Amino acid sequence: MKDARIYKKTFRSAWRNIGEHTVAIMLDDYNELDELGGVERNETVVYFNETASAIWNLTDGKNSVNDIVSRLESRFSAKDKTLIYTDVLNILNEFKKLGLIEENGSKSQDR
């Protein structure tokens, strides 16, 4: 289950941690200007639950997927590492689909 891939956040969103949660706003959704000269803001806002928020904050361009799984194991006292790994991958894939993160190489010692 070694996964050495590293992800980093793109500039596509602005985000803020609130309590154990995170709110992210897509910054390229606003550029539709209406014909009256005003800005039509159809911003996509994404709310992360506690787990997604923890993964988001660990996705810093330095931690590998493996690092993130390890950190979550200790944080949530989870016993089933496979389950956590699957959850982390699913959430990272969701982030990727939204254009919020991109791959940033891999960590040699995790291979």
Partner 1 sequence: MDLKAKIDNIEFKKLTPRALFCELTFRCNLNCIHCFCNGYNPEGEKELTFEEWRDCIDQAIERGVAWVTFSGGEPFLHPRIFDLMLYARQAGLSVILKTNATLIGRDEVRRLKELYVRDIAVSLYAMNPEIHDRVTGVSGSFEKTMQAVKLLREENFAVYLTPVALKGINVSEILPMYEFARKNRCSFSVGIDLLPNYAGLDDIVEKLQISAEDIKMIVEETSKDRNFVASEARYPCGVSDPNGPIHINPYGYVFPCLTMQVERIIDKNDNVRIRRLSEIPAKSTFYKLLPGLTWDSFPECKECRYRIYCHRCFIAEYIRTGSFYGSPSYANCATARFAYEIMQERRDVNAKKQMENACNRN
Could you list the residues that contact partner 1 (CB under 8 A)?
Answer: 9, 11-16, 18-19, 21, 23, 25, 27-28, 30-31, 33-39, 47, 49
Q: How far is the CB of 9 from partner 1 (least distance, A)?
A: 8
Q: How far is the CB of 59 from partner 1 (least distance, A)?
A: 12
Contact present, 75 and 54 (Cβ < 8 Å): yes
Of the two residues 1 and 33, which places its CB atom closer to partner 1 in the complex?
33
Length reported for the chain: 111
Q: Which residues pair with 18 in a beta bridge?
A: 21
Mention every residue, 6+ apart, whose C-beta is less than 8 A from residue 69.
1, 3, 81, 84, 85, 88
Tell me the one-letter amino acid at 8: K
Select 27 or 89, whichever has its Cβ closest to partner 1: 27
Judged by beta carbon, residue 10 or residue 70, the one nearer partner 1 is: 10
Minimal distance, residue 82 CB to partner 1, in Å:
27
Closer to partner 1 at the Cβ: 35 or 74? 35
Rg from Cα positions in the chain = 16
Kindly state the smallest distance separating residue 79's Cβ from partner 1, in Å: 26
* Interatomic CA distance for residues 111 and 87, integer angstroms: 20
